[in-house]
A and B are shown apart, each in its own frame.
Chain A
């Protein structure tokens, strides 16, 4: 299973949940290739965590 990694709503990587590996969006990276194959099988990653809301003055 995988989970999206976002920074300010921009997808910047994929987390492989089995070993907490942080996978870059590089076509030459074999972990990313495996993720794309997993996606092609019809699977979907978990959405990225929502960023914590920081209130002014908090």
Chain B
């Protein structure tokens, strides 16, 4: 598509692939923009960035970004990303996935990457549904809502992935929403510079599917709901965070501490193997 006007972030975008395949009003593009603004303001070298994604609407993110990237298997972005990082530690590797990709099929990899304090940043865009496949229930879908495979509401309560990842040992855990893109941008900056594993959940609107079948007519209507339900909290632990569609989904930074990263621990092992003093 020929454009004569350049968006300020155009140099990071594969312009020939625009417009995106995302639905009108989908929150994924908003998150991507906050991300690009973050790396732009940090002054990171695009040659050092690698985007790894799984399958899903969020999985399409690397298609639009002019960095090294891979769009891999459903749920397997995290191990691929870890392999990339370990093979070339100077790269900054970012994982993009939806709630289904990261917390359902990818759940095992998520908790182990958190445990290892793997040197990765994982951005999980939670739209409460499996969007790309047409709208099936996800482990994050609230019990009060419906999807195409939960017409009588979900059979079980959802995960609060923030608690899951924190319990697995993650050293940076935050949750934001598409209604607070500036705070999201600032959090992404912290996550990218964080020592080890950083996890950011972004609750986001899926207007065409989740919104429509739950009675939200326009993207703005679902956006307002997300803005209302996402309450920013400061200084609470992840286990005090709420994940309640009717009451509150707590936003903010829940965990931020320093621990040896996976790479650092592997370097220790190399030293031991060579008989050097640790």
A and B associate: no
Query: What is B's interface to A at a CB cutoff of 8 Å?
Result: none
Query: What is A's interface to B at a CB cutoff of 8 Å?
Result: none
